[in-house]
Amino acid sequence: MKRIAAILLMTFGLAAFFVARAVLSINGAGASFPEPIYSKWFDEYHKKDPNVQINYQAIGSGGGIKQVTEGTVDFGASDGPMNDDQLKAFQDKHGFPVLHFPTVLGAAVPTYNIPGVTGELNFTPEALAGIFLAKITKWNDPAITAANQGVTLPANDIVVVHRSDGSGTTYIWTDYLSKVSDEWKTKIGKNTSVNWPTGELGGNKNEGVAGLVKQTPNSIGYVELIYAIQNKMPYGKVKNSSGQFIKADLASVTAAAAGAAKSMPDDFRVSITDAPGKTAYPISSFTWLLIPSKFSDASKRDAIKGFVKWMLADGQNHTEALAYSKLPKEVVAKELTALDKVQ
Amino acid sequence: MATTSTTVPSAGPLAGSRSFFDRLRDGDEIARLITLLFAASVVLITLLIVYELWQGSVLPRHKFGFAFFRTSVWDPNFEQFGALPFIFGTLVTSAVALFIAVPLGIGAAIFLAELAPARLSDALEFFIDLLAAVPSVIYGLLGIFIVVPVMRDVIQPALKNSLGFIPLFKGPAFGIGFLTAGVVLAIMVIPYIISVSREILLSVPRDQREAALALGSTRWESTWKVVVPFARTGIMGSIFLALARALGETMAVTMVIGNTPAIAASLFSPGDSIASVIANQFTEATGELYTQSLIELGLVLFLLTFILNGLARLLIVVTSQRGGAARA
């Protein structure tokens, strides 16, 4: 009997020891596009402040919005800003608003496979919208050839490839096409998945689209810039709002955000596709953290605010190694002010 | 057969004469209750699934009603959802799969059970069981890297040149689409048909074969006219198992079907299936109506499986009655 008591005592002692040492655990869920940089950040931040452990589940932007609204996670993350209905749903449920904080930038690029064409193609907004609306059906259509003097394009049918899974990349792509084409806006619109014109092929994730484009002659599709860079895929330039053909890279995507910074609304819910600026790449977007503006647990609130502060300063230095574009300075300054709203 | 039928009724009254607590103490009653619980849980889980799917799809059921089954627009932006192209894709790919897999699978099973030397048959059975256990994503990769290029460069042009006058084989050949999805599904379900059918054929009593041979039939006649008809019910069971797998297959299909909700006469055309669209869109679906429409698609797939299984049972009952009459 004494021995059992001793064992019990020891167990309780050990348990108490671990509980006392337990770190503050914060849970987030949402977009899968920024997951590599988020994992890196949460890992680095844990090294800096061993008392805070941030766990992140890349369940998708839609899931992130749902979970943060339900209150099952401490923060959410999304590639597209929450719409007014979703904001209202959060406000109605909790009695206080949820705030958007941009973290990094991403972009979508057109990638293609045309036998005999090796150079970089130039795409005008009209050409991209026409191709994806299935209005432009041949590679030697004047809308494409006019921007590509000196390249011989074949008279073959264009095969269009899109993402079949709901994704932030599709959101950016269709958001851009909605801005540059009224027909796109009224017939198809922007979303994480849309009702594509018939006859187009769907590939699952970036790998699926890239694989289909690689395998199908005369095809065109779109993938995340990061995926294209890491896999050394060829991709085309896109004409921006200043009339320049811009190749997407880390700098031209940051330039798009800087161009939009002047007109940035206070809640950061802004689309930066077709942004102004001579060097801006037009199919770019922020990705956001969704943070409730009130926390009942003060230690959680401080930990999250601490993390966001660090992410906006030191954290931004980790982005380019993982091929994400940095936030422009103007946006960082604005976010630091907005952070005070979290109480 | 005779011995078991005499012991079972005699155990009945014996068990009945003892009190409930006696039986409980002996363990019989405990075993009965526990196994009953396990059996009931199957029914319970099925009912729970239906309940959840039904509850989860309230909005689209009220908004679209039966139009959900008849319309073919799937547009998350304008909140129009119709299941027809997905039902079509699921049925077409499964039909193509069975069209290819049934003759191949049953042929292989007959060879393994009746004609091949026992040692070869056992060795091959090992590989077939191995194939049945390969995860479907592997079959999907096999589809993308091997089946799709072969379809695009060899099989589809050949079909177009020889049978191109039939609408089934018209249109541009991308290599992905209904036909390719069906072929990949066929590769996936053949092991099921072979494995189950072989076991069934092996379990046909020896007297059946010997009787046929004694009447002067050749080996093939005894196999084809006596053994296979005897095993018919079991072989059909293997086909329905294959059908169930084909209907619900997700990963391998989504990788090669083209993921475009379309109804087309041509098997070359890209399409989509119920399981595939749920897997593709559920995680990023925003808005209640959109999410619930995807759940209703799950309900549709459940119903489809249910109906096809019911038809299968009916077919077995009908054919076995006819077979019995013919034997008598």
Distance between B286 CA and the closest CA of chain A, angstroms: 5
* pLDDT (tens digit per residue) in B87-111: 999 999 999 999 999 999 999 999 9
- The residue count for chain A: 343
Question: Average per-residue pLDDT in chain B?
Answer: 87
DSSP assignment of B244-309 equals: HHHHH--HHHHHHS-------S-TTS----HHHHHHHHTTT--SHHHHHHHHHHHHHHHHHHHHHH
- The residue count for chain B: 328
Please name the amino acid found at residue A197.
P
pLDDT given at position B17: 59
Beta A122-123 vs A237-239: how paired, if at all?
parallel
Q: Using a CB-CB distance cutoff of 8 angstroms, which residues of chain B are in contact with residue A200? A: 260, 270
Q: Does A208 touch chain B (CB under 8 A)?
A: yes
Q: Which among B174, B269, B283 is the nearest to A63, CB-wise?
A: B283
Q: What angle do CA B74, B309, B200 make, to 5 degrees?
A: 135
Q: Which among A86, A167, A202 is the nearest to B260, CB-wise?
A: A202
Q: Which among A168, A191, A200 is the nearest to B260, CB-wise?
A: A200
In this predicted structure, the answer to whether residue B1 has a pLDDT above a threshold of 60 is no
Band the pLDDT of B295: cuts 50, 70, 90.
very high
By C-alpha distance, the chain B residue nearest A217 is: B174
Q: Using a CB-CB distance cutoff of 8 angstroms, which residues of chain A are in contact with residue B292? A: none
Torsion of CA B169, B172, B176, B182, to 10 degrees: -10
* Torsional sign, CA A318, A320, A323, A328: positive
Please name the amino acid found at residue B284.
E
In this predicted structure, the answer to whether residue B4 has a pLDDT above a threshold of 60 is no
Q: Which among B148, B174, B254 is the nearest to A164, CB-wise?
A: B254
Q: Does B121 touch chain A (CB under 8 A)?
A: no
Q: Does B147 touch chain A (CB under 8 A)?
A: no
Q: Do A215 and B175 touch (CB under 8 A)?
A: yes
Preferred mutation among A69, A79, A177, A201 to probe B, highest tally of B CBs within 10 A:
A201
Q: How far apart are CA A289 and CA A293, in angstroms?
A: 12
* Complex ipTM value: 0.75
Q: Does A198 touch chain B (CB under 8 A)?
A: yes
* Average confidence (pLDDT) over B277-288: 85
Q: Does A190 touch chain B (CB under 8 A)?
A: yes
Instruction: Tell me which residue of B73, B103, B67, B94 sits closest to B85, measured CA to CA.
Output: B73
- A229: enclosing H helix or E strand: helix A225-230
Q: Do B258 and A204 touch (CB under 8 A)?
A: no
Q: Do A61 and B255 touch (CB under 8 A)?
A: no
Q: Does A191 touch chain B (CB under 8 A)?
A: yes
B 265-284 residues with CB < 8 A to A: 269-270, 272, 276, 279-284
CA atoms within 13 A on the CB side of B56: 17
Q: Which among B149, B152, B254 is the nearest to A204, CB-wise?
A: B254
Q: Do B259 and A201 touch (CB under 8 A)?
A: yes
**Beta-carbon contacts below 8 Å between A and B:** 99
Q: Does A237 touch chain B (CB under 8 A)?
A: no
Q: Does A206 touch chain B (CB under 8 A)?
A: no
Strand partners, B50: none
Q: Do B149 and A189 touch (CB under 8 A)?
A: no
Distance between A216 CA and the closest CA of chain B, angstroms: 7
pLDDT (tens place) for every residue of chain A, 343 residues total: 566 666 666 666 555 555 545 689 999 999 888 998 999 999 999 999 999 999 999 888 888 888 999 999 999 999 888 988 899 999 999 999 999 999 999 899 999 999 988 889 999 999 999 999 999 999 999 999 999 998 999 999 999 999 988 888 899 999 999 999 999 999 999 988 899 987 788 988 888 899 889 888 899 999 999 888 888 888 999 999 999 999 999 999 999 998 888 888 889 999 999 999 899 999 999 999 999 999 999 999 999 999 999 999 999 999 988 888 989 988 999 999 999 999 8
Q: Does B19 touch chain A (CB under 8 A)?
A: no
Q: Which among A166, A168, A208 is the nearest to B255, CB-wise?
A: A208
* pLDDT (tens digit per residue) in B198-225: 999 999 998 988 999 999 999 899 999 9
Model pTM score: 0.81
Q: Does A165 touch chain B (CB under 8 A)?
A: yes
Q: How far apart are CA B76 and CA B173, in angstroms?
A: 29
Instruction: Tell me which residue of B6, B26, B3 sits closest to B15, measured CA to CA.
Output: B26
Q: Using a CB-CB distance cutoff of 8 angstroms, which residues of chain B are in contact with residue A216? A: 152, 174-175
